[in-house]
Amino acid sequence: MVEAQSFELLKTKRKSLRTAVTKVVNELEAELSNSDLNVDIYRLSELVETLCIKFEPLTLVDQQMEPLFKPEEFDGEFEIAEKYREKVLLCQFRAKKKINDLSKPRVTSPSLQTTLSQSQDEHFRNSDNIRIKVPKYHITRFYGDDASKWLTFWNSFETAVHNNEYLNKVDKFNYLKAHLGGSVLNTIEGFPISAKAYDEAVE
C-alpha cells in the first residue's frame, strides 16, 4: 500500500517536471527559430541554465521509478524517458552552438567568412549527428550491487560517452548519472553538475 502511494506520488511529480521541462524546451526552440539579429543571447543562456536545473530532478525521479515498474511496462517507460533526455540534450546543444556562434567576432572578409561558415557548419553537422546518436547506445544501468557487471558497464559507457570528444564533461556527467542507480548513484548524487565533479565521479 505504501509502495503504491509512493509510486503515485512519483508519477504526479514526474508529470509536473515533464511539463516544466517541455515548457523551457519550447521557449528555447522559439528563441532559436529567430534570426540571428533578433536572438537575445542572454535570454538564451538563461534558458539553457534553467533547462539544466529543471531536467536534473526529472532524471532523478525517472531513476526512482524504474524499480517500481512492472516488467511489461518497463520498456515503454524507459523509451519515453530516453526521448525526453534526447530532446533536452539536443536542445541544449543547439542553444550552446547558437550562443557560441553569436559570441564570435564578425569577419569582415566575405570570402573568409564563407570559408569559416562552411567549416563551422560541417563541424556542427558532425557534432549534431554524434550527439543524437549517443542516447541510442544500449548502456545497461549499473547499480553497484554486482561488482562483476562494472567492467561491462564501463566499457560501454567509455566507448559511447567518456571518449566522445564532441561531448563536454557536463554532458558526460549527466549521461553518467542517467545510467547509474542504487548505492552508486547515491554516492555522487550530491555532486554539482560540473566538469570537475565529473572527473571526481569517474575517479
CA dihedral of 177, 179, 184, 187, whole degrees rounded to 10: 0
Give the model confidence (pLDDT) of 128-141 as tens digits.
444 444 444 567 78
* Rounded distance between C-alpha atoms, residue 17 and residue 92, angstroms: 17
Grid cell in block for residue 159: 566507448
Identify the DSSP state of 69.
Answer: S
Q: Which residue reads 526521448 in cell numbers?
A: 83
| DSSP 3-state of 105 | coil
- Residue 23 is predicted with a pLDDT of 93
- Residue 115 is predicted with a pLDDT of 55
Give the model confidence (pLDDT) of 16-63 as tens digits.
999 999 999 999 888 888 877 777 888 888 888 888 888 888 888 888
Amino acid (1-letter code) at residue 104: K
- Residue 133 is predicted with a pLDDT of 43
Contact criterion met (CB below 8 Å) for 177 and 59 = yes
Backbone angles phi, psi at 180, to 5 degrees: -115, 160
Residues 6+ apart with CB under 8 A from 60: 189
Percent of the chain topping pLDDT 90: 6
